[in-house]
Structure 1
């Protein structure tokens, strides 16, 4: 007799009860990952909308500085990015197998999301001066620290994904994105360090930020696709044992 089944209860019913929680978990994972991907894409669109509203801004964080007309919308975009990272992290919790490179990618995404969330609340002072320079305030140090840490953790998540063996397409996308973000970020940093063309350097920073944000969206869609594939392409409520 099937374990846990009784003479009054068919074996298929017992099997259905066993399968349903796993199927619902995958369905929840799929929904969270899809919503997270959507939040990431909206975040990228809002940041470029803010940039279009004030083309004179050279660096990303300046859009959210105190007193900037674009600040409310930009900080909403940063918060959406934080939500995207945390949602994909939650989605990964039910799919631990295959998403580990050194340590769980979910852990990297969770801390990354928390950093972006904190940076969206503690914004730059007017002009967003570099910390420890004339006119800078403690809030500038806090904002820049958490924003940079979040960005670095996004790069770490890309590197972890690039090492996954069973997902060649996502591995290739992550490798290309990681390389592009690294090159643009490094070039932009060198331009700023040597006081070069701030317009070109700012464009590079926006390009690097956009690539990183879009990667979150693509990765979220990959997690959602994996969860859907695990159910044979069917939502959880359609994947029950007859």
Structure 2
């Protein structure tokens, strides 16, 4: 029961977080980093921070059913949650300078390390899901398809291109892919736990046995 409600809460918080983050970033230049929408003075900085906290809550809630699937999945999502929240609370400097092409301030490094750490841990959780038996394996394989390519391209853009349209677009695609995977996985857990609960109730209900018994 707890896992089912946690999964449902994760899906709801994740969906709200994605919607809020989309609105917060919508007016920014495509070549800008997503984090620039959270800089004080940005039009929707408060919405950006609230959305990141919602996404962090979604990861923390998903860790509960994820832990039942695999201890390492639960651990990776549990660690990713506070890092995601930290990346929202600790804003970067205007322009979000990142090495190797720009000179960052200490808070820029904290913000970037938290964001990258959260994404890497989510990527690990996706990989671990893909190694589980079906039907959990399918959620991991979906994550590999929709999240891994933009994550790799975004990392390459930051390292080899710096601030650019390519980096900005692949970063957005990576966040969308990971967030979509979190919501889809949470929905899967909620539906699966509900089905398991219904089967368990049916097995305990003597009326179910009598309904299946054809004898008068």
- With structure 2 as the length reference, what TM-score do the two structures score? 0.84
Q: Name structure 1 gaps, 5 residues minimum.
A: 1-25
Decide which of 38, 45, 50 is 1:64's aligned counterpart: 38
Aligned pairs, how many? 206
Alignment of 1:43-82 (within 5 A): 43-55=17-29, 58-82=32-56
Deviation (angstroms), 1:132: 7.5
Deviation (angstroms), 1:195: 3.0
Question: Which structure would you say has the larger Rg?
Answer: 1
- Partners of 1:105 and 1:160 within 8 A in 2: yes
Indicate yes or no: 2:91 matched with 1:117: no
Alignment-derived partner of residue 59 in structure 2:
85
Alignment of 1:169-180 (within 5 A): 170-180=136-146
Decide which of 194, 210, 216 is 2:182's aligned counterpart: 216
Alignment RMSD = 2.6
Indicate yes or no: 2:135 matched with 1:161: no
- Partners of 2:60 and 2:81 within 8 A in 1: yes
Deviation track 1:46-70 (CA, whole Å, cap 9, x = no partner) reads 1111122334562111111233222
Deviation (angstroms), 1:78: 0.8
Alignment of 1:81-230 (within 5 A): 81-92=55-66, 96=68, 99-100=69-70, 103-131=71-99, 136-167=104-135, 170-195=136-161, 198-230=164-196
CA distance in 2, matches of 1:230, 1:153: 28
- Say which structure is richer in helix: 2
The higher relative CO (CA closer than 8 Å, separation ≥ 6) is in 1
Deviation (angstroms), 1:135: 5.3
CA distance in 1, matches of 2:30, 2:107: 23
- Partners of 2:34 and 2:172 within 8 A in 1: yes
- Partners of 2:77 and 2:122 within 8 A in 1: yes
Deviation (angstroms), 1:225: 1.3
CA distance in 1, matches of 2:187, 2:203: 21
Find runs of 4+ consecutive structure 1 residues off by over 6 angstroms: none
Q: Name structure 2 gaps, 5 residues minimum.
A: 207-216
